[in-house]
Amino acid sequence: MTSLRQRVGVLAAGTASVALAATPLTALADNHEAMVSEACQAANLGDMLKNPGRLTLSTDNPAFPPWWGGDPSVDDTADDPGWETSYPPSGEGLEGGVAYAMAHALGFADDQIDWLKNTEFTLAFQPGPKDFDVHLAQVAVRPDRAKNVDFSEPYFDLSQALVAVEGNDITSVTSIEEVKGFDLGVAVGTTALQYIEEQIQPDTEPQVFNNNADAVQALQNGQIDGLVVDIGSSFYVSGVQVDGGVIVGQFPTSEQDERVAFVLEKDSPLTACISEAVLAIKESGELQEIYDALITDAEGVPVIE
């Protein structure tokens, strides 16, 4: 398996689209030559790892495109069943590509990487010991979360977006002031919820759902007028999960709100090395190549100000 191997597919959503795949992007995807200092190379991490000699990664299950790819019905094995929607060990999707690029930068080969399934978004950044070395699931760096876990150097900057169904009056809004009058929905524990409460401040309390799947279903059923999710997820929600789904627009957010990073156990000795690997794939251009190959025309989504 090559970490940056993806199939090409495009989801249309108005003027915006998301490309869910590409062929291998760089030679680094194949050679796994370490790009970090000697102390941070895989062979020298030793007891910093949960399982010496192996890197244990974690993400949420189900794992949704465009962040993740791969077909779980094809890729699941007897040793690793139970992934839903996507298959993170495939290395496909935005975060799949980043996860393997980071691991390769440390010098890990694909067969030295193990995956854990996280059943609830907020569990990964609760206090206490972790079973994983590194978790990634579009987790934004927030001061309250940083009290309980470490964050690496950020690897993406993202904004929040508003998704609705064709025909709903909310699809014509152009300002946050107009959005206030509609019934909004969001998944619990997400940066989107905090954005609604602090920046949008709607006239009625937002409906908070246990997970994004429940929130998407509520949008489809007409229980809410609009769903707030990160811009990456908005393409999949509007293009695949919701019949007649449209991206109404994206919201302006502060730099802090937009920073997405790897999560590690609090005071992990591995944190500095993961940050070094992120900086390495930024400087090499590999991180930008992953983003450019998978997200197209995101700048075409109007901004709701």
Same domain, 221 and 134: no
CATH classification of the domain holding 133: 3.40.190.10
Q: Is the pLDDT at 16 greater than 90, yes or no?
A: no
Encode pLDDT of 139-168 as tens digits. Answer: 989 899 999 999 999 998 878 999 999 999
Same domain, 83 and 205: no
- Domains identified in the chain, total number: 2
* pLDDT (average), residues 104-113: 97
* pLDDT (average), residues 17-40: 57
Instruction: Categorize the per-residue pLDDT at 121 as very low, low, confident or very high, splitting at 50, 70 and 90.
Output: confident
Residue at 5 is within a domain: no
Residue at 284 is within a domain: yes
Same domain, 188 and 137: no
Same domain, 149 and 167: no
Confidence (pTM): 0.77
Choose between 65 and 206: higher pLDDT.
206
Same domain, 52 and 138: yes
Encode pLDDT of 168-177 as tens digits. Answer: 999 999 999 9
| Cα three-residue angle 218-228-291, rounded to 5 degrees | 120
Choice among 47-51, 52-56, 75-79 with the minimum mean pLDDT: 75-79
Same domain, 148 and 104: yes
> What is the domain extent for residue 31?
10-156+260-297
Residue at 305 is within a domain: no
Query: Are 87 and 6 in contact, with CB atoms under 8 Å apart?
Result: no
Residue at 3 is within a domain: no
Same domain, 44 and 144: yes
Q: For residue 118, which amino acid is it?
A: N
Residue at 4 is within a domain: no
Q: Which long-range contacts (CB under 8 A, 24 or more apart) does 220-225 make?
A: 220/165, 222/165, 223/183, 223/185, 224/183, 224/184, 224/185, 225/164, 225/168, 225/169, 225/170, 225/182, 225/183, 225/184
